[in-house]
Amino acid sequence: VVLPPRRPSVMLSPGLCVSLLAVSCALWPAAVRAASCEPVRIPLCRSMPWNMTKMPNHLHHSTQDNAVLAIEQFEGLLGTHCSPDLLFFLCAMYAPICTIDFQHEPIKPCKAVCERAKYGCEPVMKRYNHSWPDSLACSELPLYDRGVCISPEAIVKAEGPDRCRCKAVRMCMKTYVKNNYNYVIRARVREVRNRGLEPTAVVDVKEVLKSSLVNIPKETLTLYYSSSCLCPPLTPGDEYLIMGYENEETSRLLLIDTSIAQKWKDKMGRKVKVCISLTLTGVSLLISSLALLFSAPVTFFLTVDSCFNAIRSPAPL
């Protein structure tokens, strides 16, 4: 019996094996390496400028089904239009963008995007005794110029027709009561700054019609917009009646989508003062009436909305 010649065996060193494995991984098709990317199936995030995501997300949800249940709790807040950056920020956290050839981990939103959403929406949340969630802390996110992150400015065309269309907010008693503004001032606009990631308006305060926890001196001060869209719009040199919110932690006066900025008219001041007086008087009268009814000291947590509705129907300012 003639046996075929035996092939010589080849012994590979451990170092060479590791090198070959590294080369094989580097040459592996990109589509295979990115198999963990999956199409975005979260309804709220289907309008985002990316269509692939990766789980677990930045909130440690292992599946999109879990993420859907968690993000739905923000639907009411999104309905207030408190910040045009809120939906982008939430989707960047709950359905983070997944890129095939860029990096292994999903990309986080930029810190400035989080701060704009928080500044615009936390005042609305506090009206209902809620604070910005610790799980969405802005301090944990990267800065635009110091790390890898995404922001609307980086991937959304600024010239898009619907990108910065300010929603008109009608100034009437119903709006004032519903939105429960923290401050109301009469001010002349010095300038509007839209440089960098923190747009502002510098104004000279002529009269303080309402204030809350943040002190408002009758001098030059800065109002902070919640987004680069500059809503409501202000024109330098003009005098306005401005209604907005405050951030207690930073002592800032904020302008968000639901804020009001209407050019000042002398007759406007008297009507606004009556409006503010009626709401405050209505709260006092209702609390006093309830206390007498129960004949005992009672602590009531009442909103201006419910008190005012119990006293009179909405009327134009």
Measured distance CA(203)–CA(255) in Å, rounded: 12
Question: Which stretches within 144-191 are classed as H helix?
Answer: 152-155, 173-179
Average pLDDT over residues 218-240: 89
Average pLDDT over residues 267-282: 71
Q: Taking the CB of residue 98, how many other CB atoms lie within 10 A of it? A: 23
Signed CA dihedral, 54, 58, 60, 65: sign only: negative
Quick: pLDDT tens for 120-173: 999 999 988 999 999 999 998 988 766 678 888 776 454 444 557 788 887 777
Using the predicted structure, report yes or no on whether residue 23 has a pLDDT greater than 80.
no
**Which token pair is 20?**
């070959």
Exposed, middle or buried by CB within 10 Å (0-12, 13-18, 19+), for 78?
middle
Measured distance CA(244)–CA(156) in Å, rounded: 27
- Top-ranked range on mean pLDDT: pick from 3-7, 47-51, 219-223: 219-223
In which band, very low, low, confident or very high, does the pLDDT at 4 lie, cut at 50, 70 and 90? very low
Q: Domain 173-266 is in which class?
A: mainly beta
Domain ranges of the chain: 38-136, 173-266
Using the predicted structure, report yes or no on whether residue 291 has a pLDDT greater than 50.
no
Measured distance CA(225)–CA(42) in Å, rounded: 29
pLDDT of residue 163: 58
The CATH number of domain 38-136, selected from 1.10.2000.10, 3.40.50.300, 3.20.20.450, 3.10.20.30 = 1.10.2000.10
Mean pLDDT over all residues of the chain?
Answer: 76
Q: Hey, what amino acid is at 303?
A: T
In which band, very low, low, confident or very high, does the pLDDT at 7 lie, cut at 50, 70 and 90? very low
Quick: pLDDT tens for 40-53: 999 999 889 888 89
Q: Taking the CB of residue 180, how many other CB atoms lie within 10 A of it? A: 16
Same fold, 38-136 and 173-266: no
Using the predicted structure, report yes or no on whether residue 262 has a pLDDT greater than 50.
yes
Q: Taking the CB of residue 156, how many other CB atoms lie within 10 A of it? A: 13
Q: What angle do CA 63, 68, 74 make, to 5 degrees?
A: 140
